[in-house]
Each structure stands twice: as C-alpha cells, then as structure tokens.
Amino acid sequence: MSNLDDIVSLCKRRGFIFQGSDVYGGMAGTWDFGPLGTALKKKIMDSWWKFWVEDREDMYGVDAAIIMNPITWQASGHTETFNDPLVECKACHGRFRADKLVDGATESITTEQFLAANVKCPTCGKIDWGDVRKFNMMFKMTVGPVADDEHIAYLRPETAQGIFTNYKNVVDTIYPNIPFGIAQQGKAFRNEISPRDYILRDRECSQMEIEYFVHPNAWEESFDELVKENHRFLTEKMGLSTDKIHDEEVAAEDRAHYSKRTIDIMFDYPNGREELMGIAYRTDFDLSNIAKASGKSMEYRDKNSGEVFVPHVVEPSIGVERLILAVLAEAYKEDEIDGNKRVVLALPEDLAPYRFCVSPLLKNKPELVEKADSVYQMLRKKYGNVTWDDSGNIGKRYRKQDEIGTPKCVVIDFDTLEDDTVTVRDRDTAKQERVKISEL
C-alpha cells in the first residue's frame, strides 16, 4: 500500500499538484494542478466523457452556469439542508466536523453522542466542547453592484442542479427516448469546515455527474445497471483494483435529503477507506420541486405509449480529485532494479501525461540530437503527448520518467545512425528492445 506522504511529495516534485496560492502561504482546501497534473486530470475527464457520453446513445451533455438563480437552491433544499455537523473547542476555538472526530459516527451525530465519546481537541488536546450545530456549506456571494439581501447568490455546491434546470430544454430540443441521461462536468464549491486528506476533501473541486431519467416503475433496473457500469469504468478505464473497491449501502438517516436509496462506492486510499463516488436514487424530488417553484411542467410524454409522467432519476456522481487520488494511489509503486530503489507511477497508458519520452544518448553529439529531434517531431505529430529529455545521464532520465509515469522511453544512439533502430525501454519491466523507427 502506498503512503499518502510519498504521493504528495511526488506530486509536488514532478509538477502534478501544488498547494493553492502557495507563493502567498497557501489557502486551505484549494489545490493547483501543474503541467503533468493538468494533463492527467484532462485525460481522466475525457475518458469519463467518452465512456458515458460519446460511446452511448442515451446520454447528452450540458455545460451549465456556475452562478445560478438562488431560487434553484431553495427549490432543491440546499438552503435548508446542505449542512455538516460543526463543533467548536471552547479552549482554543478550533472548529471541526463532529462526525470526523468520533470513530463510526455519521453526519447525523448529536451533541449528546459527541460529548459521550470524550474526544480530545486535535489542536490543543483539551476536552471542552460546545454544542454540535449545523453549518451550511454553500458559499454565499452577491451579484451586481449592490451588496444586500436581494442580490444574494451562491456558488453551486453541485453540478446536478445545472442538469435538472436544463432537463426541459433538452427534452424540448432533443426529445430523447426514455430512459436517457444528461451529463455534466465542472466546478463545484463547498465551504468545508475542515478540509483534509490532501485533495480528498476540498473547498473547490470538479465533479462529473449524470442524471439518468427513467420511468418511475423502472428505476431499480437502471440503478443496478449504472452501479455495474461504474465498476467497469473504474477498473477497465481507470486501472483501479477490484479488491480495493467496495459498495456500501447508505442507511436512511445518512442519505442526502433527496435520496431514497444510495450506494457509496468506497476505495481503499492510503489513509483508509473513503468514499470515491455515490449512486443515488433521487425519485422525482428535483423535477417536482422545480415544477412547484417555477410553475412550469416537468412532465415527459412517452413516444410509444403516450403516457405522461414526471421521470424519476438515478444519479451517479464522482469527484474528479477523489478519482485522481485513487488513480495515483493505485499507480504508485516502489521496487528495485539492480539493487537500486525505484519509484514508478504505473499509470494506464491512456492516462499517462506523456506516452513517450525521446532522448539522444548524448546531448553534446549534434548528429544524435538532430536524429532524436526528427523522431521526437514524428511522434509528437502522431501522438501529441510526447516529451523530450536530454538532461543528466540516461539512467537518471529513466528514473525521472518512471516517476512521471511515462510508459516508454525512446533513446537514439550511434546504432540508430547506422540501421534506423532505436532503444525502447519499458517503464513497468525496465526491459529494453531495439525497434525500427518506422514501427514506433
């Protein structure tokens, strides 16, 4: 099992992930993605989009605004119910999520349950707590030139409502056969009480969500199918091990206010088992509330039977950063080659920031550099994500590319000038073979 500190160190050292606003001392719960992290994140999001939208005939994409009419969050219940249990230490005034301080606790923990656990403050070590109270996690803001209550809005805490508010637009313009899904990727903002565990719990994150609209009597079949397909995506496309993925049925008291059934797909992260994504049966909660708040019908007329009904919804929702951390944790390996310790990021080839690294054996030999550059340009034109490295000796280059996760290193040497073959070195096995340039 990989160590979280090792992953954090690698990500900073190799340009995957940096602390947000690091030059000014950072800002809790925010993270910046460097060149390699941005490439990895984009490949993961593109893979999800291809799997769920481009490769299916029943999915449609939208890209809704981040700042929405505040009625959205009243109708959805977020204004009243999007809360976490907050507790404050009276001694040092540190504020924490109460359920994260008590083993086995849930978000519905009460003051009596918390105090009975006799928990010490993580900051000062004292036991002197106030009451557990609800803390709304939405970021409040004002829109327009006047900062008063009439101009209050919120940064969206989820991408789902942007899908629901566009349901009628999609039906009116596309009129898809039911069941069908609407997918969205984008930023979401949650004012976490105590951001923790690296990129696992952020104040600003990216989400990938699907709202799958079904006949009210057919939700269970779609629910089971979406659970199965999400497992296939996680294992086949993201490279996660099946023995690290676990389905956890969420008890009624711990489900979101809109859900009648939820399965959390958990992953064994380096710091323990945590939620990777959730699949929720939201009934017609959202569409019915939109109809009440807007006065507009959210009914769907079946093309074949003519039946009119408000669809029910099954929602698979995954946080991009949580998925990135799972992919990194799965890929991080340590082994030995010729008695020397090696760190390897064994990413799936389709997710690796670079597919190839091209190097001249010696950078002070113009004929090797010229030939290497021609190979580099050829591979860049063919694959795009190809990098160049001529720093240090060849062994150091290999170690660097192993940490980056580059599957193949291509080295141009003096034999290349004679027979047009190159050395291709494999990241996972460290084995080398001669390959014709034309066969790369």
127 in Cβ contact with 119 (< 8 Å): yes
Closest CA to 13 of 44, 41, 34: 34
Pick the CATH number of 4-71+177-296+312-329 from 2.40.480.10, 3.40.720.10, 3.30.930.10, 3.40.1390.10: 3.30.930.10
Q: Which fold has domain 354-439?
A: Rossmann fold (3.40.50)
Task: Answer yes or no: is pLDDT of 183 > 70.
Answer: yes
Task: Answer yes or no: is pLDDT of 262 > 70.
Answer: yes
* Predicted pLDDT at 270: 94
CA atoms within 13 A on the CB side of 383: 20
Sequence-separated (6 or more) residues with CB below 8 Å from residue 243: none
d(CA 240, CA 234): 6
* Predicted pLDDT at 98: 92
- Percent of the chain as helix, strand, coil, to the nearest 5: 35, 30, 35
d(CA 136, CA 23): 30
- How would you class 405 by CB atoms within 10 Å of its CB: exposed for 0-12, middle for 13-18, buried for 19 or more? buried
Mean pLDDT confidence for 161-167:
96
Q: How does pLDDT run across 90-106, given as a tens digit for each residue? A: 999 888 999 989 988 88
β-bridge pairing 356-360 and 386-388:
parallel
* Predicted pLDDT at 108: 84
d(CA 427, CA 384): 19
Q: What residue spans of 235-337 are helical by DSSP H?
A: 285-294, 320-331
Per-domain boundaries in the chain: 4-71+177-296+312-329, 354-439
d(CA 190, CA 192): 6
CA distances from 239 to 149, 174, 221, 352 (A): 48, 34, 26, 12
* Predicted pLDDT at 150: 80
CA distances from 166 to 79, 133, 298, 336, 357 (A): 20, 34, 11, 54, 44
Q: How does pLDDT run across 306-326, given as a tens digit for each residue? A: 999 999 999 999 999 999 999
Task: Answer yes or no: is pLDDT of 2 > 80.
Answer: no
Query: Is 287 strand, coil or helix?
Result: helix
Report residue 40's pLDDT band, with 50, 70 and 90 as the boundaries: very high
The proportion of the chain whose per-residue pLDDT surpasses 70, expressed as a percent, equals 100
Other beta carbons within 10 Å of 409: 25
d(CA 408, CA 375): 14
d(CA 102, CA 87): 12
Q: Give the residues across from 410 on adjacent strands.
A: 358, 424
Determine the residue type at 32: D
Mean pLDDT confidence for 177-198:
92
Q: How does pLDDT run across 322-361, given as a tens digit for each residue? A: 999 999 999 999 998 878 899 999 999 999 999 999 999 9
d(CA 103, CA 230): 29
d(CA 413, CA 231): 44
DSSP conformation class of 109: -
- How would you class 386 by CB atoms within 10 Å of its CB: exposed for 0-12, middle for 13-18, buried for 19 or more? buried
| Average pLDDT value for the chain | 94
d(CA 215, CA 312): 6
Task: Answer yes or no: is pLDDT of 267 > 90.
Answer: yes
d(CA 325, CA 328): 5
* Predicted pLDDT at 1: 59
* Predicted pLDDT at 90: 92
Task: Answer yes or no: is pLDDT of 168 > 80.
Answer: yes
d(CA 230, CA 185): 16
312 in Cβ contact with 295 (< 8 Å): no
Determine the residue type at 171: V
Lowest average pLDDT, out of 206-210, 250-254, 283-287, goes to 250-254
Q: For residues 254 and 128, which has the higher predicted lDDT (pLDDT)?
A: 128
Query: Cα 337 to the chain's mean position, in Å?
Result: 33
Closest CA to 311 of 58, 49, 50: 58
Q: What is the pTM of this model?
A: 0.90
- How would you class 416 by CB atoms within 10 Å of its CB: exposed for 0-12, middle for 13-18, buried for 19 or more? buried
* Predicted pLDDT at 107: 82
Tokens 């034109």, located at residue = 381
Mean pLDDT confidence for 256-285:
94
* Predicted pLDDT at 145: 86
d(CA 190, CA 195): 10
Backbone angles phi, psi at 434, to 5 degrees: -90, 130
